[in-house]
Structures are given as C-alpha cells and as structure tokens.
Chain A
Amino acid sequence: MTVSLMKTPAETAYADAFDPQGALADVRKSAFAQFAETGLPHRRMEDWKWTDLRQLISKALPPASGTSASAEAIDDLIAASPFGDVARARLVFVDGSYDPGRSSLPATGDVEFASLGSDDLPAWVSDKLVAGSTDPIAALNLAYMSDGAALRFKAGSGMDAPIELLFVTTAEQAATYTTRNVVVLDEGASATLIETHVGGTGEYLHNAVTQLHVGDNARLDRVKVQEEGLEAIHLSNLEVHLAQSACLKDFTLTIGGRATRQQGFITFDGEHSESYVSGAFLLTGKQHNDTRLVIDHAVPNCTSRELFKCVMDQAARGVFQGKAIVRRDAQKTDGNQSSHALLLSVDAEFDAKPELEIYADDVICGHGATSGDLDEDQMFYLRARGITETEAKSMLIGAFAAEAFDDVESGAIREVLGGLAEGWLARRKAG
C-alpha cells in the first residue's frame, strides 16, 4: 500500500485503520489504493481549489461504525427529521449502521431491500460495487463503507409514497462514518426517495455515497436534506446512470454542517433521458458548502437542467461548480445550468465555476451565474407597504430560495422544505 503518500494526521488515520475483510475485501483494497494515489484532495487540485480537505480535516477522524449513544439521544435526533409525517417507510442508519428496530420497511412487494452492512449481498447490489470512480472521496467511501440502503424497485412498479433514508450521526466520537446507498430502478419503475442527514453537536465526518441506476423509462424523484450538526464535515457523492428515456428529478437543501462538499456525477447512458438537478444552500456563521456537478451527455438527444439558489449570510462561503460535457456524437443535446447567489453580508463569499465542454455542434447549451445583494427596488416596494426591513428581507430571501424547489413533485415534501427554509429565516431574524 502506498502509505508513504499519506501526509496529514487524518490521512494517516485512514491508512492505519485499513484492514478489509469479507467478500468485498478486494474491491475495498483497490478503492483504497485509488484514494492513496492522491490522498485527501487539496486546493492544488483543480476541482478542489475552493475546498481544501487537507486543511478542513485538520485532525485524525478514524473510521468508525456502530453507536454508543443513549437511546434517548438517538430518538431525539430522529425526531429532528422533518419528514416524519411524509415518509411512508423509513430506513434508519445510526452512526453508520442499520437500525432495524427504528426502521419501517415498505409494505409493498414492489421493492426489495438489503442492508449494505450484511454479509451476503444479492448480486444486483454487489455488481454495482466496483472500484473505478475517479474521485478520491468516493474511493475512500468504497474502501470504508460500513452500511447503507440497497433498494431495488421492480419493473413497472409505481411507488408514489416516499421512502426515507435517514442518516443519524450522534457525534459521540470524533470519527468518520461512511455510508453508501445503491438504488436500482428497473424498467418502467417510478419512485420517490428522501435522503435526510441529521447529527448531534460535536465534531465528526460523514462520507456518504448514493448510487442511482435508473432503468429504461424509469423515473426517480429524490430529495436530500442535509441538516448535519454545525461542527460536522459532510462529504457526499451522487453517482447517477440514466438509461433510455429515464428521468431524474433531484433536489438538495443544505442547511447544516461546518464544511460540506456535495458532488453529483450524472451520466446519460441512454438516449431521450432527462435530468433536473436543483439545490438551495442556506448558510450562515462560517459554514462552507461546495457543490460540484458533472453532467455527462455521453449520448445524443438528452436534456439536462440545473438550478442552484445559494444564500450566504455572515462569513459563510458557498461554491458552485457545474460542468456539462457534451461528447463527440451527443447531437441534439439540450443543456442548461444556472446558479444564483445572494450575499447578505460583507464577509460572505460565493465562488462559481460554470463550465461547458462541448464536442458536438448541433446542441443548445448555456449557463448563467449571478451573485449580488437583495434588490433595492424590491426592498423599497415592500417597505413602502409598511413591512419592516427584517420582514421584507425574510420574504425576499425565502422567495429566492423557494424557486429551487418549486419543481419538487410532491406537495407534502415541498411544504416541508418551505418549513425548513422558514425555520432558517426565523433563526436568522432571532440571531
């Protein structure tokens, strides 16, 4: 093992603890070797120039799984999930390990479930666990992942009731928790998935990967809410493969975490597919959130849309890096991407890198990026109608952020998201 490349205490801790066992040992070994090539990404790596993990992860956070927290503490955190009334089934993972007692499996036979922590995984799961991701954090995840949900939606099934994957990190130990989900939608299936991350106050790192394999004519709606503890580091990778005429609608709301890096790699494997990815960040204090998306139009006739709304208050820093690749023969691609940032303080910062890499000529691609303060005219309009400054600001910020989740299909989920945004604004007003 190329341990010699490990320079920081955090990297050394990862190398020292590495001792893969079981059926996946070989896969884990090659994944770790991949991670070891670069170690933790740092700002001299182009894709990480605004998020230096060597700096952010300043001390050893050794890999861990399983919890020692009290049942009460866990239940309190679970109660913090805003989707309690919306989700029809819920799979709970506490400190990187499946908690069957607190989970409720979907009632229908249309969906198959396996816990990734179990010893013998069905072939449809293990087939999907292959080393080869170019991202060091995703590689580290495969090397260390302790648990997560594997879900398979049967061909033609229609699961309208949302399933929630709830990740609870109690922050009992300053450790790294590693989870991974594998979601497969067979031909013509449709499903709604909620992924919630909540955590206690205290230092920890959560490395989360979600793999989505959306089959021909299948459709997936996914909503992710990241409300980790405010000392937490949240690193996530979303890997999506869309088959023919497939559709993905994905929305991420980021409120928690001290430092967050969320990446999405979306690949069109089949023609006539569509991907709509949107997100909103509501950041304050010294929070840092870096979202990176890579949309790979590998085949012709696909459509992609991205919309990100970023609100930064106090000394928060938001980053959006979106890249659309249109391969040589991916003609008739329609790709559009926009990111809009609202900076509410002189110390807030927003960095954007909206990139296009295009090798086919018959395409329509574009991107837009804006950043600035609240519009003075809009403020004046509201103030002239007797609304206080604080209230007027809240209204405008709320409306700005809400545009990103306007397209979320389920009204109930939209309502919850609106409530989360309102809660953030209320805390801002009070704080």
Chain B
Amino acid sequence: MPDIETIERVREIDVDKYKYGFETVIESDTAPKGLSEDVIKFISAKKEEPEWMLEQRLDAYARWLKMDEPDWAKVSYPKIDFQDIYFYSAPKGQTGPKSLDEVDPELLRTYEKLGIPLKEQELLAGVRKHDEPSTLDEDAGPSYASGKVAVDAVFDSVSVVTTFKKELAKAGVIFCSISEAIREHPELVKKYLFSVVPQGDNYYAALNSAVFTDGSFVFIPEGVRCPMELSTYFRINAENTGQFERTLIIAEKGSYVSYLEGCTAPMRDENQLHAAVVELVAMEDAEIKYSTVQNWYPGDKDGKGGIYNFVTKRADCRGDNSKVSWTQVETGSAVTWKYPSCILRGDNSVGEFYSIAISNGHQQVDSGTKMIHLGKNTSSRIISKGIAAGYSDNTYRGLVTTHKKAKGARNFTQCDSLLIGDKCGAHTVPYIESKTRTATFEHEATTSKISDDMMFYCQSRGLDEEEAVALVVNGFVRDVLQQLPMEFMAETQKLIGISLEGSVG
C-alpha cells in the first residue's frame, strides 16, 4: 500500500534526538564539492528541470558572485568556505523502521520528554501504527478532522515524500515539492517564483536562487480553505552539506492555509549552512498562517558545531484585505539571521509577526521582521519575545516603514527580552520610519530578568529552580505561544524547557 510507504518514509526522517542529533546512515548521491556553474547545471539536471529554470539559476549565480557577504548583523562566525560544501546530497534508498517499536528508544524518550504523546506525535508527522485503526487515513471519511497534517519531508537536498496529496487534490490544493512543481506546474512557478524574493535580493537569497535543491510548493485555489494543516519537515543529515530549500506558497482570492515548518540536524563538530528562501503570495481576501519551529542543532556547550541559519522569508500581501501571519519559535542553530517580512501592498492588508527566540550556550540570534506599508489602511502587529541564557547573544532587529501614500497605516510593536545569567546579551534594534501624518506607529520594548520574587514564589511551592524558570519563561512567551497551531503548542512548551536546560545554577 503506497500509504504505508509514505508513513515509513516520514517516520524515518522523524527519527532524531539531541535531542535530534543522531545521524541516519544512508547511502547518498552527492554533487561534487564546491560551487560552480557545473554544480548548478548538475543540480538542475538531477531535478530534470526545464531550460528556463537553469537560466534563472545561472543568472542568480552571476549576481551572487558580485555580492559581498552581509556583516551588519550582530553575529560573528568564521568566514564560510563555499568551496568546502556539498550543494547537493540525496539519499539513494529509503528504508526505515517498520513500526514505532523499531524506532530508536532514545528518540522515544526524547519525545516523552518533549511531552508529545506518541499518538499525537503520529498525528503531527502524519503516521500511524499498523495495528491501529487510523484516524488519519483517507478512507476515514470525508470529515476534515482537526489535527490532520499533510507533510512534505525534505531530507538533505530532496523532498522524499509528500503525504495526503490525493486528498488535497480533491480540494484543488496543490501541495508538492518545488522540483515537482517546476516540472508539473511550470506556469504557476514561472509566474510567482522570484516575484517576492528576486534572485539578487541579498547575498544568501542569491545563493539560494542559484543552488536551491528542494522545498515545498503550495497552491490554494480561489475560495478554498485548505482542509488540513500543511507541513514541511526539514532534515539535514549528510556531512559537509548545505541545505538550500525554497518554499513558495500562493493563496488565491479568498483562500486560507496554515503551514507549519520544522527542522532538525545531527550533532556535528563542523558548522553546516542552511540558507533557505520562503516566498508567500496572498491575493485578495486570502490568509496565510506560517508557523516555524526551528530546532536546528545549536552546537555543543563550548560553541562547537551547529547550523548557520541564514534565511530570507518574505510575504507579499498582494490583494486587498489579505493577511499573512508569521509565527516563529527559534530555539536551534548556532547562528540565526532571519527576518520574516510582510509587504503590505493591498489596501486593508494585515501583517503579523509573533516570535519567540531562545538562545543558550554560545548561540547567536539576530532576528526580527520588516513590515512595509504600501496600501491604504494597512496594519501590522509585532510581538517578539527574546530569551538569552548562557553565553548567547539575542538581537531583535526590525523595520516598520510606510510609503508616503499609504494612508492610515497602523503598527503596534512589542519586543520584550529576558536575560538569564550575566554572561549573555539581549539587544533591540528597531527601525521605525513614519513618512506621513496618517500613520500611527507604536513601539515598546523592555528588558529585564526573572525577578527573585517570582523564583522564590515558585520554589516555595516545591518547584526546583529549572522548573521554576521554565514556568516563568512559558508565561513570558504566552502571547506568542497562543498563536501556534494546537499541535505545536505542547511541543513548543516542552522545547523551551529543554533549550534552557543548564541555564541556571
């Protein structure tokens, strides 16, 4: 049954620990090391892409060669040697555990620790046990049961499987890997790819445009409310490999989609590069909700290893009354450089950004958002909660700007930072540009630590120090947690506890 295969493949990818730091031993197909036009041609050929796509890639590569690596972010890391990276790596075979019993027990313990009952975990990953009546199966009936999640699983450079495609197709939704979309839906891809983040947008976006290997493609037709949550699970496995995925989501007039993204990588001593691009297009009356739980390997306690996460995410609210909501939980990566943005082009369009960024150990986070008000009566809301512990640096960097002709623009921004320990840093760098009388912008930021009173209160009720910190932190980030889809909320709450482990005492 093809379904079972699907499940197995997904489960295989979901096998992790570092909680997620193991490596899957798997034979891989790789491109020659380094970056050149030949490597780009190799990738394009592997993907069986049409000529026009290759041209776009080569154009992006030519632009990238002329660009300088950005150095304005408050992060420091050794210079990346782009000739020392494999830009393409794909598993040759896909055999994995047949049932939950075969899953690494360490992993099961991790998930227990994360507080996800395995049943729920299956739901999350779109898998089920063999001997169990499925609540997920397509045969289960026409009901769009809540908790159903379709998954596109990206393993190193390729999408290995996309679940629930048939059921989604019934609703007219296209959900597949971007490589497949380039082959099967070239007209849509041609029209929208690079239309939000052009090839030459910035250094890493240009790099991604040249070498992107896979990612997800979502198209929601007019008037359709996507029947289930869509999700992509990114996994870096192979050594010395960069991951460059590209995601494109198009919500036609009056449609709605909620999309989740999760990511993990093995523990390695060397750093690995992840440079993704996400483009969202929301047409008239459409709404896109994009949630990320970023849990790439953050490096060890001495700051060795970890993922460099240099990501460009941008949404174009092209139609009137459209809405895009970004929610992110950033707990992983050694270095994060990421600013999910909204171009509020349509009149009355709405952009939202909810973020929790937690840094511990030697992690460096420079993240935030851009809200660009172009249409009339556009509004945006930014809630950012940064938590710095250990030796980490956590920066919020954001831009709110309005065009002169954008009447009635409205923004509310709140950035709060919490410091745990005296060796970490929390920084706020907002840019606010109000270019006309009718724009009303409000910005508020605070930085503080967990007060001794709160700790005393919790501890006098029998919580140990770490539990007390986790409780207070969960309260601190509550405003953002509530924006996450149900399935992610429980997981995230536990994840926060794990990320801050060892931060006190």
Contact = CB atoms under 8 A, between A and B. Distances in A.
B422 A358 contact: no
A360 B445 contact: no
Given A328-B422, A346-B436, A358-B426, A369 B441 contact: yes
Given A341-B434, A343-B437, A352 B422 contact: no
A100 interface: no
Of B72, B417, B419, B428, most buried by chain A (CB within 10 Å of CB) is B428
B381 interface: no
Of A352, A356, A362, most buried by chain B (CB within 10 Å of CB) is A356
A331 interface: yes
A373 B440 contact: yes
B430 A368 contact: no
Contacts of B72: 46
Nearest to B449: A361
B437 A355 contact: no
Given A351-B431, A361-B419, A369-B441, 15 more contacts: A343-B439, A345-B437, A346-B404, A354-B428, A354-B430, A354-B445, A361-B424, A362-B449, A363-B447, A364-B446, A367-B428, A369-B442, A370-B440, A371-B440, A373-B438
Given A356-B428, A358-B425, A349 B433 contact: yes
A329 interface: yes
B447 A358 contact: yes
Main secondary structure of the interface of B (DSSP, over half): strand
Given A355-B429, A357-B425, A361-B421, A366 B438 contact: no
B422 A361 contact: yes
Contacts of B417: 356, 358
A363 B437 CA distance: 36
A355 B442 contact: no
A361 B431 CA distance: 24
A351 B433 contact: yes
B95 interface: no
B357 to A, nearest CB: 15
A368 B419 contact: no
Contact of A365 (B424, B432, B446): B446
A351 B438 CA distance: 15
A372 B441 contact: yes
A348 B449 CA distance: 39
B427 interface: yes
Contacts of A359: 424-425
B420 interface: yes
Contacts of B426: 356, 358
A48 to B, nearest CB: 14
Contacts of A347: 404, 436
Contact of B437 (A329, A356, A368, A373): A373
Contacts of B419: 358, 360-361, 363
A350 interface: yes
Interface in A276-322: none
Contacts of B442: 368-370
B453 interface: no
A429 interface: no
Nearest to A343: B437
Given A350-B434, A351-B433, A373-B440, A356 B422 contact: no
Nearest to A50: B433
12 contacts: A328-B423, A347-B436, A354-B428, A354-B443, A355-B430, A358-B426, A361-B449, A362-B449, A363-B449, A369-B442, A371-B439, A372-B440
Nearest to A375: B440
A326 to B, nearest CB: 8
A369 B436 contact: no
B460 interface: no
Contacts of B433: 349-351
B448 interface: yes
A353 interface: yes
Interface string B41-72: 00000000000000000000000000000001
Contacts of B427: 355-358
B443 A331 contact: no
A369 B411 CA distance: 11
B166 interface: no
Contacts, number: 118
B129 interface: no
B444 interface: yes
A344 interface: yes
Contact of A349 (B423, B424, B435, B443): B435
Give me the 9 closest cross-chain CB pairs, A-B, nearest first: A361-B419, A372-B440, A366-B446, A371-B434, A369-B443, A356-B428, A352-B432, A361-B449, A365-B447
Given A369-B443, A371-B432, A329 B404 contact: no
A361 B417 CA distance: 10
Interface residues of A, number: 36
Given A354-B443, A371-B439, A372-B440, A365 B448 contact: yes
Contacts of A328: 422-423
A354 B442 CA distance: 12
Contacts of A357: 425, 427
Interface string A70-105: 000000000000000000000000000000000000
Contacts of A341: 434
Contacts of B430: 352-355, 369
Interface string B319-338: 00000000000000000000
A341 B441 CA distance: 10
Nearest to A323: B429
B440 A361 contact: no
A172 B417 CA distance: 53
Of A358, A363, A367, most buried by chain B (CB within 10 Å of CB) is A358
Contacts of A355: 427-430
Nearest to B431: A353
Contacts of B423: 328
B235 to A, nearest CB: 35
A288 B432 CA distance: 16
Nearest to B393: A359
Contacts of A351: 431-434
A329 B449 CA distance: 14
A117 B356 CA distance: 56
Contact of A361 (B404, B420, B435, B439): B420
A200 to B, nearest CB: 32
B131 to A, nearest CB: 52
A368 B445 contact: yes
Contacts of A349: 433-436
A344 B438 CA distance: 9
Contacts of A354: 428, 430, 432, 443, 445
A353 B436 CA distance: 17
B391 to A, nearest CB: 11
A371 B428 contact: no
B433 to A, nearest CB: 5
Nearest to A372: B440
A246 B445 CA distance: 27
A362 B426 CA distance: 12
B443 A353 contact: no
A341 B433 CA distance: 11
A353 B424 CA distance: 23
A369 B432 contact: yes
Nearest to A373: B437
Contacts of A352: 430-432, 434, 443
A296 B281 CA distance: 43
Contacts of B421: 361
Nearest to B422: A361
Contact of B445 (A329, A345, A356, A362): A356
Interface in A328-347: 328-329, 331, 341, 343-347
A104 B165 CA distance: 88
Contact of A370 (B428, B443, B447, B448): B443
Contacts of A361: 419-422, 424, 449
Contact of A356 (B420, B435, B438, B447): B447
Given A348-B436, A355-B428, A357-B427, A371 B441 contact: yes
A44 to B, nearest CB: 11
